[in-house]
Structure 1
Amino acid sequence: MTKLTPIESEFATTEEAQAYDTWFRAKVEARMTKKSRGIPHDEVMARMQKIIDRRKNA
């Protein structure tokens, strides 16, 4: 188990970094193989702007 410093990585060990990388790649691969369409970029941005505006006004 190789320990990492915060300068090198956000993970404590190389094993944690590799586990995250494996998980992340599996998620991306699963999404890329789906036949359904995702949410259009403009719609996502509009939703996020509403959330930001609500938080600013709260």
Structure 2
Amino acid sequence: MNLVGRRDAIHLPYNRPIMSENPSPIESEFATAEEAEAYDRWFRAKVQMSLDDQRPTASHEEVMAVLQKLIETKRDTNACPSKLPCRVPC
């Protein structure tokens, strides 16, 4: 069976279908209209707070460089003192 291009045929574990790109207006991931409206208000408020934030921004490259340094520091700190591959922490 060819599933290419058939988004409706792809399922996640427990038979939960992947959300389609254009969900039907009848379908909703919320139990009630009130829940959907509350989520929409919350989401819009979070977006507006982000847009209004005056703190300086950082580029993706800057953030990734800082995180890579952090990973390397943690890796060095937690390195096995025997320098041999082992499965049990020293």
TM-score by length of 2: 0.36
Q: Note the aligned Cα RMSD (angstroms).
A: 2.4
SS of residue in 2 equivalent to 1:21: helix
Runs ≥4 in structure 1, deviation > 6 angstroms?
none
AA matched with 1:24: F
Displacement after TM superposition at 1:40 (Å): 2.6
Structure with bigger strand share is 2
Displacement after TM superposition at 1:36 (Å): 1.3
TM-score by length of 1: 0.53
Structure number, greater radius of gyration: 2
Displacement after TM superposition at 1:10 (Å): 0.6
User: Residue 39 of structure 2 is aligned with which of 7, 10, 20?
Assistant: 20
Structure-1 separation of matches of 2:28 and 2:57 = 31
- Bigger relative contact order, structure 1 or 2, given CA contacts below 8 A and separation 6+? 1
Structure 2 regions of 5+ residues with no counterpart? 1-25, 68-90
Cross-structure match for 1:35: 54
Q: Percent identity?
A: 51
AA matched with 2:50: R
Structure with bigger helix share is 1
Structure 1 regions of 5+ residues with no counterpart? 1-6, 48-58
